[in-house]
Amino acid sequence: MGENSGRVVLCGANAYEQKYYFNEKFSRIPESIKEELHIICVLFTEEVGGVFTVVFEEDGSVSLETDACEEDILYDEISSGLLVREIRMQRQELLESLSLYYRVFVLREPVDTLIRED
């Protein structure tokens, strides 16, 4: 899990290996946010299975991605999509804050231009 064409993985969980990953490049993110991301990722994979990742796109937006092995007959693609949508709705403020963090501290965009966009 790392960089891929300008995309950067923030964190993710893998149901097959029962592991959680947090990209240490973002160690300055507050502990409470890290814990919330940990809970979101792990609960997602416990409920749906597969692999779940939170990714920063090139433009600073945040993507929630899920994938599964082809042989995984227990993975429910429909439930996965519904749960991603639910996380997006319930954690919208968190995801927007993460995007702002990335755009300011990683992409070095001026804060005043970002605040005017909202």
* Rounded percentage of the chain residues whose pLDDT exceeds 90: 82
Helix (H) or strand (E) holding 111: helix 111-117
Q: What 3-state DSSP class applies to 15?
A: coil
pLDDT at residue 118, rounded to an integer? 46
pLDDT of res. 6: 86
Residues 6+ apart with CB under 8 A from 111: 104
Domain ranges, residue 52: 3-117
Asked whether the whole model's pTM tops 0.75, one would answer yes
Cβ partners under 8 Å of residue 56, min gap 6: 7, 8, 9, 10, 62, 63, 98, 99, 102, 106
pLDDT, average across residues 84-99? 97
What's the structural domain count of the chain? 1
pLDDT for the residue 24: 96
In the predicted model, is pLDDT for residue 117 greater than 90?
Answer: no
pLDDT of residue 1: 43
